[in-house]
Amino acid sequence: MSEELQNVQKKFHDEVVTIKTLQEAEQLKVKYLGRTGIVSELMKVIPKLPVGDRASYGKQINSLKDEISRILTEHIDKLSIGKKPAGKREVFDPTLPGKMYNPGKKHPITQTIEDIKDVFSRLGFEVAYGPEVELEYYNFDALNIPSDHPSRTDFDTFYIKDDILLRSQTSTVQIRIMEKQKPPIRIIAPGIVYRPDTVDARHSFMFHQVEGLLVDEGVSFADLKGTLNQFIKSYFGKNIEMRLRPSFFPFTEPSAEVDISCSLCSGKGCSVCSYSGWVEILGAGMVDPNVFEAVHYDAEKYTGFAFGLGVERVTMLKYGINDIRLFYENDLRFLSQF
Ligand code: PHE
């Protein structure tokens, strides 16, 4: 390459490393490759050269021109990223259909828990929570469940260690709240419970309960019945009937199991209600004085009621769902219906 061309090449390389903006790159392009730029000036020399030298000189200029052009294009491309090409401004067309996004939804179990919270908050209940990994004391002892009770065996409870387990009922929260607070108490406690049941259409090793507890002076069984009736009518609708059957729980006395008229067949009888017209949704009763003793409450002064409701159960009844496993399979065809 001739000395003159080498000088131009070197000068270009010195200048190109200093460019920082697109504008500077464009200016350098005009300076070297423009119609009256440095490269064009060099070309003008060709006709004045001896005929034999012209071809090789022309080739050298062309290859220098290509080199400059390639380097500048690279710079211009890099500096133009994110910038719209001039003259091709995007036009916003407001008549085009919008992009459809599929907003997420709350899981039906979460929705039911929120519906239950709504009803009970209107009745003055606060929401409380307790741990899922629990001491045996809170799951059994403090709830007046004798040490030889069958529910304590590992056929009915998941043990982590001798005295640590996965809670099998939300009644644990009754004790934890009463240990911390003095009456009056009015709480509901939603949460997950665990039982080693074989999974089928109606059973799962993990499900949700909502516990309720009200303690005050002069609380009677009529208050329990009125509260539950209010809940059932609000959640299921005015046409649903409630009935109480005598039952037994170690931590309530007297105790009852609460049925509602089958919402699927309106009480006429179907496979869901085993053709009885009624389905059980919760256990309830008046707090046993032994439980008050465990939390150092004066059982002469205070009375109270408690209940424990199956969240999956009421959701299935309300929406006519026939298999509990649908709640846990994450199938959007099911979940998107709620
Ligand atoms: N904990 C009971 C159960 O899981 C339900 C219950 C709660 C019964 C409170 C009475 C009072 O079956």
Nearest residue to 122 (alpha-carbon basis) of 186, 209, 191, 210? 186
Is the CB of 284 within 6 Å of ligand 1?
A: yes
Pocket lining: 252 vs ligand 1, CB cutoff 6 Å: yes
172 Cα: distance to centroid of ligand 1 (angstroms): 10
- In this predicted structure, what is the pLDDT of residue 213? 98
SS3 306: strand
Cis peptide bond upstream of 246, omega within 30: no
Q: How far apart are CA 115 and CA 121, in angstroms?
A: 10
What is the SS3 string spanning 106-175? CCHHHHHHHHHHHHHHHCCCEECCCCCEEEHHHHCHHHCCCCCCHHHCCCCCCEEECCEEECCCCCHHHH
Ligand 1 pocket, 307 CB below 6 A?
yes
Q: Is 310 in the pocket of ligand 1 (CB under 6 A)?
A: no
Residues in the chain: 338
Residue 51's contacts (CB-CB under 8 Å, 6 or more residues apart) are: none
* Centroid of ligand 1 to alpha carbon of 219 (angstroms): 18
Report which protein residue has its CA nearest ligand 1's atom 9. Answer: 307
Taking CA atoms only, the protein residue closest to ligand 1 atom 7 is: 308
Beta-carbon contacts of 67 under 8 Å, excluding residues fewer than 6 positions away, are: 9
Nearest CA to ligand 1 atom 4: 169
CA–CA dist 284, 243 (Å, integer): 12
CA of 280 to the centre of ligand 1 (A): 12
Homologous superfamily of domain range 108-335: Bira Bifunctional Protein; Domain 2 (3.30.930.10)
At residue 334's C-alpha, the angle toward residues 332 and 338, to 5°, is: 100
- Residue with CA at minimum distance from ligand 1 atom 2: 308
Cα–Cα distance for residue pair 78/263, rounded to 1 Å: 68
Q: Which atom of ligand 1 is nearest to the CA of 170?
A: 1
Neighbours of 310 (CB within 10 A): 19
Q: What pLDDT score was predicted for residue 102? A: 82
Q: Please tell me the distance from the alpha carbon of residue 169 to that of residue 310, in angstroms, as a whole number.
A: 10
Residue 252 three-state SS: strand
**How far does residue 135's CA lie from ligand 1's centre (Å)?**
18
CA of residue 306 to ligand 1 center, whole Å: 8
The span from the CA of 126 to the CA of 107, in Å, is 22
DSSP 3-state of 303: strand
- Tell me how far apart the alpha carbons of residues 287 and 177 are, in angstroms, rounded to a whole number: 14
Q: Sketch the domain layout of the chain as residue ranges.
A: 3-80, 108-335
Rounded CA-CA distance 141/213 in Å is 18
- DSSP-derived secondary structure for 187-224: EEEEEEEE--PPPSSS--SEEEEEEEEEEETT--HHHH
Using an 8 Å Cβ cutoff, are 168 and 194 in contact? yes
Whole-number Å distance, alpha carbon 248 to ligand 1 midpoint, is 10
Collapsed DSSP state (helix, strand, coil) of residue 9: helix
Any ligand 1 atom below 6 A from CB of 306 = yes
Q: Which residue type does 137 have?
A: Y
Which stretches in the chain have pLDDT values below 50? none
